[in-house]
Amino acid sequence: MSTHENQKVLELAADVLTSQPYQTLTLEKVAEAVDLPYQVLVDTYATMHSLGTAILTYEGSTMRAAQQRAAETTAAPLERLQLAFRLVGRNLAHDSIARAGIRIAAEAADCFPERKINPFRTWEKFVLRNLEEAQNLGHLRPDADINSVAWLFVAAGMGTKDLLGFTGEWADAEERLSTIAAIAINSVRARYDPSPTRVNNENGEQDE
């Protein structure tokens, strides 16, 4: 199978894994749900574990890409945080494989012990690193407790993600996650923040 064909199979399987728990599925059920010949699926992903691993690997790469793009777009750490959350929301709005990956990570982490899945801790480290940078630059209120803020930041983001999964309103993910990030940032932003930019539109572009 070509890379393109493998991707199509992964997208079809992801549609099922976005809507149903990983632990309840078999390759037979996945193939039947998307009207895919069972042998085609098995030839591509021999086990549910290999299928789940491929989805998790893909989802992880999209999250790292969002963080990297945010870092390359702006040197201002608070704007970088909001942009990263906006870009993750964009991925979730448009990419079924990313949505399937976050569901597997949330509900079936113990099925992949070799990956040591802990999305909360991964994002908490990212947020805390940027808050520490902002604090050192004088962008935060002097009394800001960045450890608590980082926890709240990620908890709010993951809660929003869970709510979107419950309601199915993934089209709103980009705006919802960007808004949550803005609220968290504004709760600790210094009254006079010397940051030169604000993330202000759906493309992650900035006003000077």
Q: What is the pLDDT of residue 6?
A: 84
Q: Residue 117's Cα: distance from chain center in Å? A: 13
Task: With H, G, I as helix, E, B as strand and everything else as coil, classify residue 140.
Answer: strand
Please write the tens of the pLDDT for every residue from 6-19: 889 999 999 999 99
Q: Residue 18's Cα: distance from chain center in Å? A: 14
Q: What is the pLDDT of residue 3?
A: 75
Number of domains the chain contains: 1
Task: With H, G, I as helix, E, B as strand and everything else as coil, classify residue 206.
Answer: strand
Distance CA 186, CA 193 (A): 10
Residue 59, domain CATH: 1.10.357.10
- The one-digit pLDDT tens for each residue of the chain (208 residues) are 567 778 899 999 999 999 999 999 999 999 999 999 999 999 999 999 999 999 999 999 999 999 999 999 999 999 999 999 999 999 999 999 999 999 999 999 999 999 999 999 999 999 999 999 999 999 999 999 999 999 999 999 999 999 999 999 999 999 999 999 999 999 999 976 555 544 545 455 544 4
Contacts of 135 (CB under 8 A, 6+ apart): 144, 146
Q: What is the pLDDT of residue 207?
A: 46
pTM above 0.85? Answer: yes
Question: Which residues span the domain enclosing 168?
Answer: 3-207
